[in-house]
Amino acid sequence: MKDYYEKSIRALQLAGMSERTQECYTRAVRLLVDFYKKTPDQISEPELEDYFLHRRNTDKWSAATLRIAYSGIKFFFVNVLQRYCQLNCVNSLSLQLLPKRQILSHFSKRV
């Protein structure tokens, strides 16, 4: 796993990611590996879907936490393992954000 970690850090640095992003992304991959107790190259796409569903439904991870984990794992699979996978379950993990106009009008009423 150490080799994967070093490759991951290298890819993150080459992509210009901040140190905090590097920490979050490598942590996401480490949690995935710890969950399945196997190397990342042995984890299948259905297992990835099951992992995210488990984290959302059982561990009650927030949408923001799920998105960070998804981004880190996706970055790793694409840039380190050079595997392209589509995770359809993650599309439903987004937060409902207010449009900027609604936020501004909300605060302007308070002034």
pLDDT tens for 39-55 read 999 999 999 999 999 99
d(CA 38, CA 47): 12
Task: Give the pLDDT score at 78.
Answer: 92
d(CA 64, CA 99): 18
Tokens representing 46? 């259905």
Mean confidence (pLDDT) of the chain: 84
Q: Examine the pLDDT at 101 and tell me if it is beyond 70.
A: no
d(CA 90, CA 63): 9
Q: Which domain holds residue 50?
A: 2-109
Q: Are 46 and 89 in contact (CB under 8 A)?
A: no
d(CA 86, CA 66): 15
Q: Are 55 and 20 in contact (CB under 8 A)?
A: no
Structure pTM? 0.76
- Over residues 75-89, mean pLDDT: 82
Residue 45 is part of a domain; what is its CATH number? 1.10.150.130
Structural domain count of the chain? 1
